[in-house]
């Protein structure tokens, strides 16, 4: 009989209970024992919900105290050398120290989970001696069975994916590291089998990226070892986010099931099954419900797809499941009271996706005719939004088609622009600035809440924001920064703020998703054609500029980041959405310039997050992403300096595209990579203005002057001093007042030392 399954469920809770518990524990307001109990209740409530809704195979060990990759690393005792670790179960203090840093040790690097908006803690293998500290999947299985009577499906990140996502080892040592890790996985699986576990999900999403034949050989060795050790355990080898290459090799592995993504990898995975068949001794985990998108599925279309699969794989060997973990979507639509009905009826968050999976499974098992009314209602909801006026604005579509047909270029090349900008701005060598935001204190959040509730009128709130700007403009001058920002106190989130002021967007009340750790975001929904309506940032930026003789940067979020950090419509291409955003933001850039703002930062921290996982698709994405940025910025005067900001990325494989963006200055997050990004500049030249983030804003620790001096010195060995800027690696919204001021003072001191050293060398 066909069964239903999910690959994982959101950790955070419908009201972000998980986040609140973490932050209470970190601040000392919650004792560890109470914290552990609170998280257990949250975890059990999620399992209970899935059981009540009728999911057949419920994932366990998908819950985490911070991040599932960090969980895997600590389960194997793989602790970075700079932390004190004496073996055994990793205590929470050390676990969170690795993630967040301590006063004595920097946090581990954080980077994106494939091409999603979730970020994981990168394991550091250097010097580690892996050992099994505790069998977390077994603990999760026992808890679900004993507390709720659930026969759970333990989820484990597979050894190949874990190793490929780690750092601190030579790639030539890959097989040696697998030799260390595989016996630990075998021990976990043997203990699970002895406990009576029926299904285990081993996640190997690395297989949707470019896998070498050597990697396939490794995979064969890994799963041969598993099969020999636990021949009667049902292992589901799970992939997601794209289609698999080496399909024939993967489906031949000695496992009971293969999980494939039939949403984001639909075309290629379906073609492989139809052309090459599927083994008769295996179960297919058919990921037909989108684990990353928020739109209601057309269940009739999904049933047609399942019917195609059933012609190759009998329905008794099908598990109908989400395409990936539901970690990437909000918890439920039911609490949303302010969305237009037409839109709300077309949405499906995690809980609604559970319902879709159960309904599809029943329709396959009992016949679609038995559920005709439900299927008809589903189709009405899907079609109503498609045909709405919001999605069919001819004025926007025609304007965007016209400007996107032209190649967007500045009137002068960078070298000539740089000369006129130097003459205008007269900045010192190594100009200092920040990325844009300053601490959003409890007072700031309270005022915003009062304004939203109507307890402060518009003018009272505007005056409050002006008061905050006054404080921080003065502070920046006292600290000694060269280029200032207004602080973004009026903004909740760098994407939400703009979405609220553009047509085509909608906002949830409770649509939170986890970005990293306890950091949750509420992505806007781009559901219609995007259009500029009125100036969005001019008032605050212009006011800030009246308070200082130093330049104040206008601050915008770029089109690609707005798109990649939003839930986007699925009826037109992402390229077209990006161009609509670029057209709207261009009008804001022009409004800032007309208001006398001569430095404008258009942030694109999420460009790489949208990079397709398949190499053959990446060049096209980067081409239209660059084009969208240039469409946004190309109409300004030569003296107007365009800045942008990017978070850490593997710079060497994007350097051409980043240069093609033609920003006058780019700031890049690099501190968490411990200087690795600078190595890219040792291999590649970069001829535009650049600021490498000299300290990590994600950690509460105050960086020492000598740490930043070391970073600056190394960068200046490979970058042109005349083009080098000094800044933190990201915005300061999440940091406290005292640590922000102290860190920036240290940064300016490090800059002054660099200026003195440079003056001596010329």
556, part of any domain: yes
Strands (E) located in 102-194: 110-112, 119-121, 153-157
pTM: 0.89
pLDDT at residue 674 in the model: 47
DSSP β-bridge partners for residue 112:
119
466, part of any domain: yes
pLDDT at residue 699 in the model: 75
pLDDT at residue 719 in the model: 86
pLDDT at residue 420 in the model: 97
Q: Is the dihedral of CA 311, 315, 318, 319 positive or negative?
A: positive
How many CB atoms are closer than 10 A to CB 465?
22
Do residues 688 and 664 lie in contact, with contact meaning Cβ atoms separated by under 8 Å?
Answer: yes
Do residues 248 and 276 lie in contact, with contact meaning Cβ atoms separated by under 8 Å?
Answer: yes
398, part of any domain: no
Three-class DSSP category at 430: coil
Q: Is residue 368 domain-shared with residue 422, that is, in the same domain?
A: no
Within 8 A by CB and 6+ apart from 188, the residues are: 132, 135, 137, 138, 156
Q: Is residue 382 domain-shared with residue 433, that is, in the same domain?
A: no
How many CB atoms are closer than 10 A to CB 206?
21
Our separate counts of H helices and E strands in the chain read 27, 21
737, part of any domain: yes
Within 8 A by CB and 6+ apart from 120, the residues are: 67, 68, 69, 70, 110, 111, 112, 113, 165, 516
198, part of any domain: yes
Q: Which of 98, 104, 89 is nearest to 124 (CA)?
A: 98
What is the tally of structural domains in the chain? 2
Residue of 246, 643, 698, 758 marked active site? 698
Q: Is residue 512 domain-shared with residue 655, that is, in the same domain?
A: yes
Burial class (CB in 10 A: 0-12, 13-18, 19+), 132: middle
What's the CATH code of the domain at 567?
Answer: 3.20.20.210
d(CA 653, CA 539): 39
Q: What is the pLDDT of residues 340-376, one digit of tens each?
A: 999 999 999 999 999 999 999 999 999 999 999 999 9
User: Backbone phi, then psi, for 404, in 5-degree steps?
Assistant: -75, -15
Q: Is residue 119 domain-shared with residue 80, that is, in the same domain?
A: yes
| Catalytic (active site) residue 698 | yes
DSSP β-bridge partners for residue 643:
601, 665
Q: Is residue 364 domain-shared with residue 507, that is, in the same domain?
A: no
443, part of any domain: yes
d(CA 645, CA 558): 9
Within 8 A by CB and 6+ apart from 507, the residues are: 338, 496, 499, 500, 522, 524, 525
d(CA 169, CA 179): 14
State both tokens at 715: 């960068």
Q: Is residue 421 domain-shared with residue 309, that is, in the same domain?
A: no
Q: Domain span at residue 617? A: 412-761
5, part of any domain: no
d(CA 651, CA 684): 9
157, part of any domain: yes
d(CA 197, CA 142): 10
Q: What is the pLDDT of residues 72-95, one digit of tens each?
A: 999 999 999 999 999 999 999 999
pLDDT at residue 693 in the model: 85
Q: Is residue 353 domain-shared with residue 277, that is, in the same domain?
A: yes
Within 8 A by CB and 6+ apart from 271, the residues are: none
Do residues 628 and 560 lie in contact, with contact meaning Cβ atoms separated by under 8 Å?
Answer: yes
Q: Is residue 521 domain-shared with residue 557, that is, in the same domain?
A: yes
Do residues 98 and 70 lie in contact, with contact meaning Cβ atoms separated by under 8 Å?
Answer: yes
Three-class DSSP category at 439: coil
Annotated binding site for L-homocysteine: 435-437, 488, 603
d(CA 753, CA 95): 36
Annotated binding site for Zn(2+): 645, 647, 660, 669, 730
Q: Is residue 437 domain-shared with residue 338, that is, in the same domain?
A: no
Strand (E) or helix (H) holding 521:
strand 519-521
Strand (E) or helix (H) holding 248:
helix 247-251
Q: Is residue 373 domain-shared with residue 417, that is, in the same domain?
A: no
List, for the chain, all residue ranges whose pLDDT scores fall below the cut of 50. Answer: 674
User: Backbone phi, then psi, for 163, in 5-degree steps?
Assistant: -70, -40
Q: Is residue 597 domain-shared with residue 707, that is, in the same domain?
A: yes
Q: Is residue 597 domain-shared with residue 667, that is, in the same domain?
A: yes
DSSP β-bridge partners for residue 199:
234
DSSP β-bridge partners for residue 726:
432, 692
């Amino acid at each position: 009989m066909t069964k239903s399954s999910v690959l994982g469920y959101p950790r955070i809770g419908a009201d972000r209970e998980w986040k609140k518990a973490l932050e209470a524990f970190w601040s000392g307001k919650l004792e560890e024992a109470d914290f552990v109990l609170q998280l257990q209740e949250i975890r059990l409530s999620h399992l209970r919900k899935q059981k009540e809704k009728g999911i057949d195979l419920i994932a366990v060990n998908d819950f985490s105290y911070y991040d599932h990759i960090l969980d895997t690393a600590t389960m194997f005792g793989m602790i970075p050398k700079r932390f004190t670790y004496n073996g055994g179960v990793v205590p929470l203090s050390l676990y969170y120290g690795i993630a967040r840093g301590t006063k004595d040790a920097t946090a581990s690097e954080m980077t994106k989970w494939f091409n999603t908006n979730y970020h994981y803690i990168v394991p550091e293998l250097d010097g580690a001696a892996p050992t099994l500290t505790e069998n977390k999947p077994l603990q999760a299985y026992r808890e679900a069975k004993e507390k709720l009577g659930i026969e759970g499906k333990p989820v484990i990140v597979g050894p190949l994916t874990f190793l490929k996502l780690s750092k601190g080892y030579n790639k030539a040592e890959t097989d040696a590291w697998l030799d260390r890790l595989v016996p630990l996985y075998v021990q976990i699986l043997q203990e699970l089998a002895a406990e009576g576990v029926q299904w285990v999900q081993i996640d190997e999403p690395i297989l949707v990226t470019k896998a070498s034949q050597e990697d396939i050989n490794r995979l064969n060795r890994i799963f041969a070892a598993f099969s020999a050790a636990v021949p009667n355990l049902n292992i589901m080898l799970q992939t997601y986010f794209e289609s698999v290459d080496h399909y024939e090799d993967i489906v031949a592995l000695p496992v009971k099931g293969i999980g494939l993504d039939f949403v984001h990898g639909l075309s290629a995975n379906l073609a492989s099954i139809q052309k090459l068949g599927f083994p008769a001794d295996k179960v297919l985990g058919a990921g037909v419900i989108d684990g990353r998108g928020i739109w209601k599925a057309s269940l009739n279309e999904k049933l047609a797809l399942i019917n195609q699969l059933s012609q190759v794989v009998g329905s008794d060997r099908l598990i109908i499941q989400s395409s990936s973990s539901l970690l990437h979507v909000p918890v439920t639509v039911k609490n949303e009271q302010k969305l237009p009905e037409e839109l709300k009826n077309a949405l499906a968050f995690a809980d609604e996706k559970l319902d879709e999976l159960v309904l599809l499974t029943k329709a396959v098992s009992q016949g679609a005719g038995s559920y005709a009314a439900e299927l008809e209602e589903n189709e009405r909801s899907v079609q109503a939004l498609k045909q709405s006026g919001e999605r069919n604005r001819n004025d926007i579509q025609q304007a965007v088609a016209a400007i996107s047909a032209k190649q967007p270029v500045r009137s002068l090349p960078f070298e000539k622009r740089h000369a006129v900008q130097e003459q205008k701005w007269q900045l010192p060598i190594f100009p200092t600035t920040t990325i844009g935001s300053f601490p959003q204190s409890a007072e700031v959040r309270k005022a915003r809440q009062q304004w939203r509730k109507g307890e402060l009128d518009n003018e009272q709130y505007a005056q409050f924001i002006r008061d905050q700007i006054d404080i921080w403009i003065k502070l920046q001058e006292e600290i000694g920064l060269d280029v200032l920002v207004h602080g973004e106190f009026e903004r909740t989130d760098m994407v939400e703020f703009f979405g609220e002021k553009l047509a085509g967007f909608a906002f949830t009340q409770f649509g939170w998703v986890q970005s990293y750790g306890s950091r949750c975001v509420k992505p806007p929904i781009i559901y219609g054609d995007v259009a500029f309506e009125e100036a969005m940032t001019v008032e605050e930026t212009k006011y800030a500029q009246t308070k200082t003789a130093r330049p104040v940067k206008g601050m915008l979020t770029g089109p690609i980041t707005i798109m990649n950090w939003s839930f986007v419509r699925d009826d037109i291409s992402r390229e077209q959405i990006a161009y609509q955003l670029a057209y709207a933001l261009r009008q804001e850039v022009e409004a800032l310039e007309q208001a006398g703002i001569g430095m404008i930062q258009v942030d694109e921290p999420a460009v790489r997050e949208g990079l397709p996982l398949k190499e053959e698709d990446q060049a096209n994405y980067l081409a239209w992403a660059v084009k969208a940025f240039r469409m946004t910025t190309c109409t300004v005067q030569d003296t107007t300096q365009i800045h942008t900001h990017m978070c850490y990325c593997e710079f060497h494989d994007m350097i051409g595209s980043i240069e093609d963006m033609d920003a006058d200055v780019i700031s890049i997050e690099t501190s968490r990579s411990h200087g690795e990004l600078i190595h890219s500049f040792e291999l590649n030249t970069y001829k535009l203005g650049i600021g490498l983030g000299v300290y990590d804003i994600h950690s509460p620790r105050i960086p020492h002057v000598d740490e930043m001096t070391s970073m600056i010195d190394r960068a200046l060995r490979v970058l042109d001093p005349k083009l080098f800027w000094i800044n933190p690696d990201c915005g300061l919204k999440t940091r406290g007042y005292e640590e922000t001021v102290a860190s920036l003072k240290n940064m300016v001191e490090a800059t002054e030392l660099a200026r003195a050293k440079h003056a001596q060398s010329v």
